[in-house]
């Protein structure tokens, strides 16, 4: 019997997840001390740390608790926000119409 491939999320769900990760870097909040560094490389390094912290927050059990999942989502959202901020700072917003689009 063939294994069924897991269904991939839709583009709409991916957009929703990205919107949840958006934040205003000019606003005070938990990301302010990081944003104050004004360094795209630092943002990338901190995002990697946050991803590791998110993975650790899930614990070692087979099913994470609601609290563990909330902590995971918070850290992942913050990491995505920092990666997007680094991309924007480095000029990675928009793609020229003549340039080839990366395949995902």
Whether residue 7 is predicted with pLDDT greater than 50 in this model: the reply is: yes
| Residue 3 counted as domain residue | no
State which residues form the domain around 82. 30-89
pLDDT reported for residue 94: 64
pLDDT digits (tens, 9 = 90+) for 49-104: 999 999 999 988 889 999 999 999 999 999 999 999 999 999 877 655 555 555 54
| Residue 94 counted as domain residue | no
pLDDT digits (tens, 9 = 90+) for 10-50: 999 999 999 999 999 999 999 999 999 999 999 999 999 99
pLDDT reported for residue 104: 46
Q: 0.75 exceeded by the pTM?
A: yes
| Residue 13 counted as domain residue | no
For the chain, the domain total comes to 1
Q: CA torsion sign, 16 to 29 to 81 to 26?
A: positive
| Residue 97 counted as domain residue | no
| Residue 12 counted as domain residue | no
| Residue 80 counted as domain residue | yes
- CB 15 within 8 Å of CB 64: no
pLDDT reported for residue 51: 97
């Amino acid at each position: 019997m063939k294994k069924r491939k897991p269904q991939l999320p839709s583009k709409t769900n991916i957009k929703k997840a990205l919107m949840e990760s958006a934040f205003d870097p000019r606003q005070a909040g938990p990301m302010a001390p990081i944003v104050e560094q004004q360094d795209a490389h630092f943002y990338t390094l901190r995002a990697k740390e946050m991803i590791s912290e998110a993975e650790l927050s899930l614990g070692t059990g087979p099913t994470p608790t609601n609290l563990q999942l909330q902590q995971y989502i918070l850290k992942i959202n913050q990491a995505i926000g920092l990666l997007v901020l680094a991309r924007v700072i480095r000029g990675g917003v928009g793609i020229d119409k003549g340039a080839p689009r990366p395949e995902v």
